[in-house]
Amino acid sequence: MKKALTAALLLALAASPALAADTDTVAPVDTAITVDHAPHPFNVRDLVMMQRVSDPQLSQDGRYAAFGVRSTDYAANKGVNAIAVLDLSHDGRPVTVAAKGASSPRWAPDGKSVYYVAPADGVAQLWRLDFAAGEGGLDLAGHKAPVQVSHGVLDVQAYKLSPDGKSVLLSYAVFTDCGTLACTRRKQDRRAADKATGTIYRKLFVRHWDTWADGTRNQLYLARFGANGQLPAEPTLLSRGIDGDIPSKPFGDDSEFAFSPDGRTVYFDVRIAGHGEPWSTNFDIYKVPADGSAAPVNLTAGNKAWDAYPVPSPDGRTLYYLAMKVPGFEADRFGIMALDLATGAKHEVDPQWDRSPGGMGISADGRTLYVTADDNGQHPLFAVDAASGKVRQLVGNGEVSAYSLAGSRLLLARDDLKHPADLYTVHADGKDLRQVTHYNAAMLANAREGDFEFFTFKGWNDEAVQGYVVKPVGYEPGRKYPVAFIIHGGPQGAMTNSWSYRWNPQTYAGQGFAVVTINFHGSTGYGQKFTDSISGDWGGKPLQDLKLGWQAALDKYSFLDGNRACALGASYGGYMTYWIAGVWNQPWKCLVDHDGVFDARMMYYATEELWFEEHENGGPQFEVPANYEKFNPLDHVKDWRVPMLVVHSGHDFRIPITQGLGAFTAMQRRGIPSEFLTFPDENHWVLKPHNSVLWHDTVNAWLKQWTAEPAAKQ
């Protein structure tokens, strides 16, 4: 690796026999998949059966951790969510306290209860779990039966407790012309009973990500707990008059709204829909009285780009939030902004830091902001001085995917290229990093993985570009190995030192492949200029980096067999796979394209988030048609010659399935060996366990077919 792991982190990650024997786990579910418990190369069956740790939440005294754990019921073809709690005061084991689809744990302010979301009669409701307290602390194993505290007729989309614990913010998907949740429920029931299935749309979005628009909006409500701890069936609407989603679709969460420290004011971010929602990134932050006595007020109307993720200071005087500067550009750099709530004055806290932070939190004294950000192939946790903007890294080498703060202690969910997420604690100054859960230790002790190393080379314009290589499992010096050359999506993304349940390099290393990947111009974590450079140049600088990076890897790593290599990519990586099929097909024995852009022209009219296409191509297709043809893979089909596996799914509305069908048609008409794999029930990602296994088995078989040694083919 380019940078060595710290000694503390190496100790935390070491899988000793004692550690493996003390593996954390939730209650097992009935499965119908064969998992090899003897030593073996890592494979997709290991991947889909791993327990996924997420959403760490510290109690206010910093002693207890609550978090989510997802296991896999392979027979039922689904993930099963549960909540566990761990006493951090000693080296104990987590206790599963809620199952049956429980998620989103949050501690009550008194630290004696955990709230969470779980279904009741098919509707997602808010529940509370109370723990008895004794001289030794909370009785985690002997907790009381959970209590359902919400009884609404609609699913709770997201929630946040008030600082005093007496009320809660709730998000529901409602018809905005309805005055009650019950009204929305009645409309939905009438629609479901109607034998006519047609829907009339009068504006975009017609569909978004993987869902057809049904006319509802996520709206923000406040409900107060009664003396019996119960919430009213009809809460108070706070987002009155707001034509937008709180939280945003499709991936918004409770980081998009917040209480003031005194609980009297609520802040939230939203993009007003209107007619132009599909080509706008103009999110703004609003404030509204928590009692709903007045309409929301826009605090950031002056910025036509993205303002979001409000974090009030503990003294209530300052509102911190993240803001972009370029309208219509979803990958612009987020800056940390500070808004003086008394005067309305705003300033950027960190203008000198050339990274794009996210996941912002604040210390109890208000002096330190905590954020994560891509940074040179890693995704560390950083501390930012709120006064000076000075940034220091607290935990690096890997990915900090989520964290929680209480006093001087941080609780992290952390992963890397060889380890799925587990929980760690660390002091707020970055010292004393300690792993506190070991959910997949036993599995990883038997599933052998490939070692990895970052490398840097001179890419386009002689600028430094980074990539990494993963050695195949069972690597032997002196041997050559076939190569999976993975091209990342985004395109403003990166292949980092992190764990993935979709494009995981270890699944290829376990099949005997070396893996090479390049963070070409346009990738995140190398400065905003580097990220911006791909816009308008999809087939230019990135292709040069891929060519130069491939040659640099071959020159540096003698075990790479350049004559037995296949290129693979998804989304933008799929676009690039179609592009190189026509303009750089010489090195490759085969190609794998997942949900890629085949026809740049039609992509503009078929996708949903038009702001992305318009920024990347300099405007709408009808205004700048030449820009959409400059790097259009469709125009080079006559030069295609390499066998290709095309994968595209029916619920992918970001890059619709006709793009993949078009490419497969081109391959078949040209007489080039090709296959088409489709999942009618998946979106831009393949998520269901059985589908994930089929995806990997099909891709691996394709790679092996075309990279086999000549003698093995006979």
Query: So which residues are the catalytic ones?
Result: 571, 652, 684
Task: Look up residue 12 and give its two tokens.
Answer: 């935390």
Task: Look up residue 260 and give its two tokens.
Answer: 């003031």
- Going through 235-378 in order, the beta strands assigned E by DSSP cover 236-237, 257-259, 265-271, 283-289, 297-298, 307-312, 318-323, 335-340, 346-348, 358-362, 368-372
Q: C-alpha dihedral over 316, 319, 320, 322, to 10 degrees?
A: 150
Choose among 482, 519, 472: nearest CA to 497. 519
Bridge partners, 287 (sequence order): 267, 297
E strand or H helix at 192: helix 181-193
Choose among 611, 563, 575: nearest CA to 488. 575
CA separation for the pair 498, 421 (Å, rounded):
9
Edge-to-edge strand order for the sheet containing 123-130? 103-107, 113-120, 123-130, 147-148
Task: Look up residue 334 and give its two tokens.
Answer: 């987020």
Query: Distances from the Cα of 316 to the Cαs of 258, 266, 286, 319, 361, in angstroms?
Result: 12, 12, 15, 8, 14
CA separation for the pair 18, 22 (Å, rounded):
6
- Going through 388-444 in order, the beta strands assigned E by DSSP cover 391-395, 399-406, 409-416, 419-427, 434-435
Query: Distances from the Cα of 486 to the Cαs of 254, 504, 507, in angstroms?
Result: 33, 10, 12
Tell me the residue type at 516.
Answer: V
E strand or H helix at 198: none
Tell me the residue type at 59.
Answer: S
* Omega prior to 250 cis, within 30 of 0: yes
* Omega prior to 205 cis, within 30 of 0: yes
Count how many residues are written for the chain: 714
Greatest extent of the chain over all pairs of C-alpha atoms, in Å: 79
- Residue 349 gets the label, from left (phi > 0), alpha (psi -120 to 50) or beta, of alpha
Whose structure tokens read 């909540």? 83
Choose among 594, 596, 619, 611: nearest CA to 678. 594
Whose structure tokens read 């974590």? 525
CA separation for the pair 513, 631 (Å, rounded):
30
* Total Cβ atoms within 10 A of residue 640: 20
Helix/strand/coil for 419: strand
Bridge partners, 415 (sequence order): 399
E strand or H helix at 84: strand 78-87
